[in-house]
């Protein structure tokens, strides 16, 4: 809506947390968590490099690797299925994968069959039937929201070919070593990455997939060359379904009785509803506060200081924590929204 003040993800987190009616941040729980987090950090459990099952990097050139990252993040959303629908898994080389990893497995499978699915000249011209077949999971189960994934790919592919010579590397070069600039290039040129909505008279933003794309680019280059982003700390956590679930389990986020009851009933939330906005915004703010508390804790006493431990690193840690403790967290409901943004 024209005229509304537009807030960055970090500003949005602050504003939403200040006005939230159903999601609350328990700062005392943050203090309790930080000492355990520091021990995990010292033990190499926070900043460790994960394999992520992105199978193709060793086979690809730099240009193709960046196009691969763009492709994955363009369709990196909504992998959960309703209880009455079969779960999407993709078995690759004898190993079954789910969620985001099912996506990377499907792309690797296609690559082995001679289809370079992450080439914009390929995915800009895909039909629904072609994409559905390429992403098809075990027992013939289709990927969730295949139609919406196709729409994102057609948009991203056409723009990449028309404006950037078919190479995401050209987008990165235009940012000139600035993470915020790359984020703006992505959002302005690829509308399917513009993860924002109206809330209490302001335009709040989360930009989950766009920020992951910036972070993945930075990580791929190991913060060198054209992706040596001195402002990488400007990124917030990536507001999704699962990290808020972990924050609730840790007691850092607390939901109102009404919200918790809705989630326990598996109520499907509407995109842009207050429940969803408050969960995502408060998650961003909570991780920001965790990082602030951790840095203060590290600066006190005779402790090692890890300046590279930022919101993005804590997000990854919490996301992997959820996967490692999946059964333990099963009793904590997560919010469910059918959306392309996360």
For the annotated catalytic residues, the residue numbers are 240
Beta bridge partners of 269: 337
Tell me the longest C-alpha to C-alpha distance in the chain.
Answer: 61
- The single residue listed with the structure tokens 């005229």 is 3
CB burial readout 62-90, b (16+ within 10 A) else e? eebbbbbbbbbbbbbbbbbeeeeeebbbb
Long-range contacts of 152-156 (CB under 8 A, 24+ apart): 152/74, 152/75, 152/192, 152/340, 153/71, 153/74, 153/75, 153/123, 153/124, 153/126, 154/123, 154/124, 154/126, 155/190, 155/191, 155/192, 156/70, 156/71, 156/74, 156/120, 156/123, 156/190, 156/192
DSSP character at residue 60: S
Q: At what angle do helices 208-220 and 179-189 cross, to 10 degrees?
A: 130
Check: CB of residue 275 under 8 Å from CB of residue 262: yes
Bridge-based pairing state of the strands 253-255 and 268-269: unpaired
Q: Which helix (H) or strand (E) holds 90?
A: strand 89-92
């Amino acid at each position: 809506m024209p005229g509304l003040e537009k807030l960055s993800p970090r500003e949005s987190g602050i504003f939403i947390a200040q006005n939230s009616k159903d999601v609350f941040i328990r700062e005392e729980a943050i203090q309790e968590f930080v000492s355990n987090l520091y021990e995990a950090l010292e033990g190499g459990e926070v900043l460790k490099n994960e394999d992520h099952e992105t199978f193709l990097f060793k086979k690809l050139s730099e240009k193709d690797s960046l196009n691969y990252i763009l492709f994955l993040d363009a369709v990196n959303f909504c992998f959960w299925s309703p209880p009455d629908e079969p779960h999407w898994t993709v078995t690759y080389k004898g190993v079954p994968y789910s969620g985001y990893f099912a996506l990377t497995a499907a792309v690797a499978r296609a690559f082995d069959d001679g289809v370079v699915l992450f080439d914009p000249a390929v995915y800009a011209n895909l039909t629904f039937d072609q994409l559905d077949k390429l992403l098809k999971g075990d027992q013939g189960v289709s990927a969730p929201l295949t139609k919406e994934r196709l729409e994102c790919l057609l948009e991203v592919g056409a723009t990449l070919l028309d404006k950037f010579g078919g190479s995401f590397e050209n987008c990165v070069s235009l940012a000139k070593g600035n993470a915020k600039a790359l984020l703006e290039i992505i959002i302005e040129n690829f509308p399917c990455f513009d993860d924002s909505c109206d809330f209490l008279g302001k335009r709040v933003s989360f930009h989950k997939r766009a920020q992951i794309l910036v972070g993945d680019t930075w990580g791929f280059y190991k913060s060198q060359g054209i992706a040596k982003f001195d402002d990488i700390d400007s990124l917030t956590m990536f507001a999704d379904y699962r990290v808020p679930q972990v924050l609730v389990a840790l007691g850092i986020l607390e939901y109102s009785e009404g919200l918790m009851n809705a989630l326990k009933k598996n109520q499907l939330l509407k995109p842009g509803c207050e429940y969803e906005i408050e969960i995502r915004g408060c998650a961003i703010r909570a991780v920001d506060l965790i990082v602030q508390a951790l840095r203060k804790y590290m600066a006190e006493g005779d402790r090692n200081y890890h300046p590279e431990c930022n919101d993005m690193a804590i997000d990854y840690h919490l996301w992997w924590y959820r996967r490692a403790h999946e059964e333990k967290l099963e009793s904590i409901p997560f919010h469910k929204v059918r959306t392309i943004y996360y």
